[in-house]
Amino acid sequence: MNLALFGPPGSGKGTQANFLVQHFGIPQVSTGDLFRAEIKAQTDVGRKAQTYMDRGDLVPDSITLQLVRRRLDAPDTERGVLFDGFPRTVAQATELDKMLQVMGRRMDRVIFVQVPTDVLVDRLAGRLTCPKCGRTYHPKLAPPQLDTVCDHDGTALIMREDDRPETARKRISVYLEQTLPVLAHYRQQHVVSDIAGTGSIEEVRERILRAIGVPSAAPAGMSTGGPAAGVRLAGEGPGGGIPPSEQGGASDTETPGQRRPPGIRPSDHGRSQGAGHRRRVRGR
């Protein structure tokens, strides 16, 4: 099963990916993590990528696709992949379609996680990241159990340079201009599920599982999808970056779970290692 978590920076893709990779036993492919690993290893690709990342711009498609191709060659991707933060341009989505087709596969479901812009900036400004496993926390919204160390591996958490409010805002505007049009690409394939990314991490998780076709454990009456009433979501509504016709209305109802039950061996794949792109947390 090939899934993609799609949404603006700070919408909770990495947070949810952590759970989903364990639940479905497929590895996470986060292009942001792949780039940070290259930066940490001081490779040529890492040096090139860093100049774009520092400015909040997208890394060019040729470099991004080179890393994704290499990652998809690894044997652990045979049963499928959870993409996080990829594809981020229409050209990347088109190339990914071709890569999957060659492997006899397709994108089964794209989960569009929607969060209002002001919430995104608050989340990013406080985001704490584990440089070892990539897990993220927030001092107020999702605190680690022990002050400023990762619950999973005890590594000291850092704040990413590109999460500073100025760069975070730039990344959100790049998302609206260059990444949001990718949705129209997948809406044409009828594989998009729209999920409200607000509410608790567990609530968002339930919505995602339902969209994928896994029976929900949520109590009756809990909201399980769609944006909260009256909430203006990043990129939605007037001036949101793409024409309303391309935003495409309601979620597609057929889920990969209905077409092809997951039935996948569980295993524990964490986020990829490394983050060269960071500032240390100096307590709270």
Catalytic positions, written as ranges: 13, 88, 127, 160, 171
Please give the distance of CA 148 from its chain centroid, rounded to a whole number.
Answer: 23
Query: Which 31-50 residues touch ligand ADP, going by CB under 6 A?
Result: 31-32, 35
Candidate residues 22, 40, 52, 97; the one interacting with ligand ADP per rule CB under 6 A: 52
Between residues 60 and 240, which has the closer beta carbon with respect to ligand ADP?
A: 60
The site string for ligand ADP over 5-24 (x = CB under 6 A, - otherwise) reads --x-xxxxxxx---------
Candidate segments 38-46, 56-64, 185-193, 255-263, binder of ligand ADP by CB under 6 A = 56-64
Candidate residues 142, 149, 242, 281; the one interacting with ligand ADP per rule CB under 6 A: 142
CB of 97 to ligand ADP, least distance (A): 15
Non-local (6+) Cβ contacts of 104 within 8 A are none
Tokens at 111, concatenated: 């989960």
Between residues 259 and 280, which has the closer beta carbon with respect to ligand ADP?
A: 280
Query: Which 159-188 residues touch ligand ADP, going by CB under 6 A?
Result: 162, 171
CB of 254 to ligand ADP, least distance (A): 25
Does position 116 bind ligand ADP by CB under 6 A?
A: no
Strands (E) across the chain are located at 3-6, 28-30, 82-84, 109-114, 128-129, 136-137, 158-160, 192-196, 278-280
120: left (phi over 0), alpha (psi -120 to 50) or beta: alpha
d(CA 187, CA 148) in angstroms, rounded, equals: 40
Does position 136 bind ligand ADP by CB under 6 A?
A: yes
- If one counts every other C-beta atom within 10 angstroms of the C-beta of residue 212, the result is 21
Q: Which of 272, 87, 50, 270 is nearest to 162 (CA)?
A: 50
d(CA 74, CA 238) in angstroms, rounded, equals: 43
Residue 154, SS3 per DSSP: coil
The site string for ligand ADP over 220-259 (x = CB under 6 A, - otherwise) reads ----------------------------------------
Candidate residues 71, 88, 109, 132; the one interacting with ligand ADP per rule CB under 6 A: 88
Tokens at 126, concatenated: 């406080």
Walk across the sheet containing 158-160 and list its strands.
136-137, 128-129, 158-160, 278-280
Between residues 24 and 137, which has the closer beta carbon with respect to ligand ADP?
A: 137
Between residues 35 and 112, which has the closer beta carbon with respect to ligand ADP?
A: 35
Candidate residues 90, 121, 201, 242; the one interacting with ligand ADP per rule CB under 6 A: 201
- The alpha carbons of the chain give a radius of gyration, in whole angstroms, of 18
What residues make contact with ligand ADP under the rule CB under 6 A?
7, 9-15, 31-32, 35, 52-53, 56-59, 64, 85-86, 88, 92, 123, 126-127, 136-138, 141-142, 162, 171, 200-201, 204
